[in-house]
Amino acid sequence: MTIYTTPLPGMSDDEIARVRQPLEQAFTLPPAAYTDQDIYEREVINIMRTSWLPLARVDQVAKPGDYISLDLFGQPVMVVHGKDGEIRTMSRVCLHRAAPLTENGSGHRNLFTCPYHAWSYDTAGELVRAPLMDGAEGFDEKGATGKGCRLPQIRTEIWNGFIMANLDDNAAPFAPQIEGYTEFFAPFRLDDLAVARTLEFPSHWNWKVLVENFMEAYHHIATHSTTLEPVFHARDSKIPENNGEPWSILDMPAADMSGPAAEGTVPGLEEWQAHSLFATVLFPHFLLGIQGNATAWYQVLPEAHDRLTLRIHMCLPRSTIPADKWEEAADGAAELVNVIHQEDIAANDMVWRGLTAPLTEQGRLSPLEKSIWQMNQWWLDKMAGTGA
């Protein structure tokens, strides 16, 4: 897959140098990194189409025939639980005249039949029916002509119950890149989670505005002054070293650890783990808000330089939340996250208004914003075409 290695459009060498400074002297990305359409198009080529992105959880396609359809940076795809038990990601564009086989969404099918000319594919993407093709020389709907009769397959990995996909056939495998992150959260048993509620928010900012807001507790003192700050003090937040791996972890210790852990907390966690809130990003925008008894997966779906859809999936541990408490726990988690995100929406709206103003320049980072600094270094490497 070809990527850009030419100088970044709309960003000067001086601006880039300010971002590259050590954290204590570092600046934010310049406004153009968020507002410039050319930069966004370069992100799609250099980052989005070469990165591992989370499309679904295994529990969302639990049975053979279950599927989820979405668009992946210009490529319509579907995640399908095959009749053979395999979970695949594949193109959902018909091999005949390129009509999408499904609309965005989810469902259950044994066959995917094109609404245009009724070509039909099985859950492995094999063409099984192409009506009225008699006389088309060399055509074999059963696949004897090779891969031309199977929907293109997209690289897929399952990590802790998350279905990850990558449009780049040459990308390095996902799991070995994040071994430090996986080890850090192994006690939380992320593979035991199941999606209990999903909230959806159309959002009118650049995707990095949302990610950066998610990744720092500094704004607790103003934006969340009556919600998060009394429970998770901004000044106590800390960010461990990622040792060059493509992730960042914001550890927010609870202000009061004297009480018992919340009901449904995964057993075996140490006290600091059971009481802390962790906001994490696996670059570029796989966001998880992790606690001992619930995890919020912020599924970021960029659509343009100034637009994205956010789906917040509230995930609960199946082994520790009793069936008779599941709905209550799901409702409570979703209500709390909605309150917090409404506060974040107001903050992100303010930031976007400022970023698009003509006199806005780079700002200084706080040492509490180390996660943003870590991601900015990775982002610059990838945008320059030098990232691994």
pLDDT tens digit sequence for 344-388 = 999 999 999 999 999 999 999 999 999 999 999 999 999 999 876
In terms of domains, do 189 and 252 share one? yes
Q: Are strands 112-113 and 120-121 parallel, antiparallel or unpaired?
A: antiparallel
Q: Does the pLDDT of residue 181 top 90, yes or no?
A: yes
Give the CATH number for residue 337.
3.90.380.10
pLDDT reported for residue 145: 46
In terms of domains, do 209 and 254 share one? yes
Percent of the chain residues past pLDDT 70, beyond the cut: 97
Assign 188 to helix, strand or coil.
helix
Q: Cα-Cα-Cα-Cα dihedral of 273, 62, 312, 225, to 10°? A: -30
pLDDT reported for residue 384: 94
In terms of domains, do 231 and 265 share one? yes
Question: Before 22, cis peptide (omega within 30)?
Answer: no
Range of the domain at 189: 13-49+179-383
Least confident of 30-44, 112-126, 140-154, 171-185: 140-154
In terms of domains, do 74 and 32 share one? no
In terms of domains, do 148 and 295 share one? no
Q: Is 6 domain-assigned? A: no
Quickly tell me which residue has 């779906």 as its tokens. Answer: 301
Q: Is 250 domain-assigned? A: yes
The number of folded domains in the chain is 2
> Higher model confidence: residue 179 or residue 145?
179
Last residue of a domain, one of 140, 166, 192: 166
Q: Is 226 domain-assigned? A: yes
Q: Which residues pair with 278 in a beta bridge?
A: 251, 290
In terms of domains, do 256 and 288 share one? yes
Compute the distance between CA of residue 81 and CA of residue 60 in angstroms, rounded to an integer.
10
Q: Is 106 domain-assigned? A: yes
Summary mean pLDDT of the chain = 96
In terms of domains, do 116 and 30 share one? no
Q: What is the DSSP letter of 214?
A: H
Q: Is 2 domain-assigned? A: no
Condensed to tens digits (0 to 9), the pLDDT of residues 18-64 reads 999 999 999 999 999 999 999 999 999 999 999 999 999 999 999 99
Last residue of a domain, one of 138, 166, 194: 166
Last residue of a domain, one of 105, 139, 166: 166
**DSSP of 198-212, one letter per residue?**
EEEEEE-S-HHHHHH
In terms of domains, do 220 and 361 share one? yes
Condensed to tens digits (0 to 9), the pLDDT of residues 242-298 reads 999 999 999 999 999 888 899 999 999 999 999 999 999 999 999 999 999 999 999
Confidence of residue 143 (pLDDT cuts 50, 70, 90): low
Q: Is 253 domain-assigned? A: yes
Phi and psi at 232, nearest 5°, equal -130, 95
> Higher model confidence: residue 144 or residue 249?
249
Cα 343 to Cα 49, 307, 308, 318, 330, distances in angstroms: 31, 19, 18, 29, 20
In terms of domains, do 159 and 291 share one? no
- Exposed, middle or buried: residue 282 (CB in 10 Å: 0-12, 13-18, 19+)? buried
Give the CATH number for residue 143.
2.102.10.10
Cα 388 to Cα 173, 174, 222, 245, 367, distances in angstroms: 12, 12, 37, 10, 26
**What are the structure tokens assigned to 271, written together?**
């006290």
**What are the structure tokens assigned to 205, written together?**
């900012």
